[in-house]
């Protein structure tokens, strides 16, 4: 048993969709969340910058004495996280492993779609992992840079006109390619899974990276006897921009009212 908290970070608050799954699957765990809201978004930035920020994020969580770190961020997970993960003495986990496995398990025709930020789609991590598990697979990728601003603008309702138009345009190629499985490669996307699912149709399985990763984390901690056996964990949230608006936006991603402390911190001055 390891009573230290689980650390989760993201460029902003999208990673809370993964935190929600961790809370559901491992209610006894303490969680420390870091959202780099002062520099959000990462998805349009260069690999070099993304990796520099990721290191600062991980180092911050390490100082809170976490037992494992989850990069609940598609952009970080696909832009070199695995190269730096080995530098730390605790597990540092992105979302790609669990997601690639789930996608391969779900597909029937071997055609897997991937949507994400520009940086996520520019990367080749998903192709490599999926092809290792299923050499005959075909991966069709599409960057959807307007999805994050649309979600952050709260335009997530079913039938929301701007979302519906943009989703129809972005997903057209993936539909035409006949994918039967679609990786929602950004932690913001579960909030618009309803619209994405409607555009793609009922025969396409959507893969939620946060849910798959939370399940893999549970198995990893279980296997090493590191699950905490508390009745209920405590949650603390850290952001790099103002903590004022945190609760309102966070509850959008968590789906319930935020419990736990929220603090503003500085990363770049260390």
Catalytic annotation, residues: 73, 186
Q: In what order do the strands lie in the sheet with 205-208?
A: 138-143, 111-116, 181-184, 205-208
- Residue pair 80/50 in contact (Cβ under 8 Å)? The answer is yes
By CB under 8 A, name the one of 45, 129, 142, 188 that touches its own copies: 45
Residue 149 or 178: the one with the smaller Cβ distance to its own copies is 149
Q: How far apart are CA 38 and CA 165, in angstroms?
A: 30
Rounded to whole angstroms, the maximal C-alpha distance in the chain is 50
Closest to its own copies by CB, 65 or 268: 268
Nearer residue to its own copies within complex by CB, 43 or 113: 43
Stretch that binds its own copies, among 15-23, 34-42, 103-111, 133-141 (CB under 8 A): 34-42
Stretch that binds its own copies, among 76-84, 91-99, 197-205, 242-250 (CB under 8 A): 242-250
Exposure of 193 in the CB half-sphere (CA atoms within 13 A): 19
Q: Does 269 bind its own copies (CB under 8 A)?
A: yes
Closest contact distance (angstroms) between CB of 63 and its own copies is 18
Under the binding rule (CB under 8 A), the answer on residue 172 touching its own copies is: no
The answer to whether 161 contacts its own copies (rule: CB under 8 A) is yes
Report in angstroms the alpha-carbon separations of 203 from 69, 158, 198, 219.
Answer: 34, 19, 10, 29
Residue 59 binding its own copies, by CB under 8 A? no
Q: Which two tokens stand for residue 148?
A: 């994050």
- List binders of its own copies among 108-147 (CB under 8 A): 145-146
Residue choice 24, 27, 28, 46 for contact with its own copies (CB under 8 A): 46
Decide whether 169 or 259 has the Cβ nearer to its own copies.
169
DSSP lists the bridge partners of residue 207 as 183
Indicate the SS3 state at residue 200.
Answer: helix
- Asked if residue 173 binds its own copies (CB under 8 A), the reply is no
Binding mask 198-217 for its own copies (x = CB under 8 A): --------------------
CA distances from 135 to 126, 131, 142, 185 (A): 13, 4, 21, 21
- Per CB under 8 A, contacts with its own copies among 68-97 are none
Nearer Cβ to its own copies (3/39): 39
Q: Which of 2, 44, 198, 260 binds its own copies (CB under 8 A)?
A: 44
Provide, rounded to whole angstroms, the least separation between the CB of residue 52 and its own copies: 9
CA 270/CA 196 separation, integer angstroms: 41
CA distance 203 to 226: 38
- CA-based nearest residue to 74, from 93, 57, 104, 95: 95
In whole angstroms, what is the distance from residue 11 CA to residue 219 CA? 25
> Which positions touch its own copies (CB under 8 A)?
37-40, 44-46, 48-49, 145-146, 148-150, 152-153, 161-162, 165-166, 169, 240-242, 244-245, 268-269
């Amino acid at each position: 048993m390891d009573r230290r908290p689980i650390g989760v970070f993201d460029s902003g608050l999208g990673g809370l969709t993964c935190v929600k799954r961790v809370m559901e699957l491992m209610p006894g765990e303490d969680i420390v969340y870091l959202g780099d809201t002062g520099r959000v978004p990462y998805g349009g930035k260069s690999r070099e910058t993304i990796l520099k920020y990721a290191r600062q994020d991980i180092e911050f969580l390490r100082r809170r004495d976490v037992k494992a770190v989850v990069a609940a961020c598609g952009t970080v997970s696909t832009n070199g996280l695995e190269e730096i993960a080995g530098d730390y003495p605790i597990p540092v986990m992105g979302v790609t492993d669990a997601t690639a496995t789930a996608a391969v398990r779900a597909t029937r025709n071997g055609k897997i779609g991937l949507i994400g930020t520009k940086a996520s789609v520019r990367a080749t991590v998903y192709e490599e992992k999926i092809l290792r598990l299923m050499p005959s697979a075909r991966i069709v990728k599409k960057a959807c840079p307007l999805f994050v601003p649309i979600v952050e603008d709260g335009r997530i309702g079913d039938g929301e006109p701007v979302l519906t138009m943009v989703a129809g345009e972005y997903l057209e190629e993936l539909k035409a390619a006949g994918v039967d499985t679609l990786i929602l490669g950004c932690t913001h996307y579960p909030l618009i899974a309803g619209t994405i699912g409607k555009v793609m149709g009922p025969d396409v399985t959507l893969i939620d990276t946060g849910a798959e990763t939370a399940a893999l984390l549970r198995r990893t901690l279980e296997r090493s006897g590191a699950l905490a056996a508390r009745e209920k964990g405590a949650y603390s949230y850290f952001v790099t921009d103002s903590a004022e608006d945190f609760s309102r936006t966070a509850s959008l991603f968590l789906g319930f009212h935020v419990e736990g402390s929220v603090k503003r911190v500085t990363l770049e001055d260390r």
